[in-house]
């Protein structure tokens, strides 16, 4: 029983840390294009792939929310 409590606590800690990382990544930065490019060059490939996947998911969600305008005969 003690093992299950410890496991539950560790899973909660992992979830909270993952959520804080995702919140940090999803905040828009106050960077210039040059500083952003330098940051991207210094990041590893895995971080760039993950950011790209998150941005693609955001586009999918936004495209679902936008309704196309209905054109009339005029």
pLDDT of residue 14: 92
pLDDT of residue 53: 93
Burial 35-56 (b: 16+ CB within 10 A, else e): eeeeeeeeeeeeeeeeeeeeee
> What confidence tens digit (pLDDT) does each residue in 20-60 have?
888 887 777 677 888 878 877 888 889 888 989 999 999 99
């Amino acid at each position: 029983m003690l093992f299950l409590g410890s496991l539950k606590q560790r899973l909660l800690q992992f979830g909270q840390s993952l959520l804080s990382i995702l919140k940090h990544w999803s905040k828009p930065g106050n960077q210039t294009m040059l500083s952003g490019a330098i940051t991207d060059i210094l990041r590893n490939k895995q971080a760039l792939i993950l950011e790209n996947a998150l941005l693609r998911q955001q586009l999918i969600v936004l495209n679902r929310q936008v309704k196309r305008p209905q054109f009339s005969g005029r």
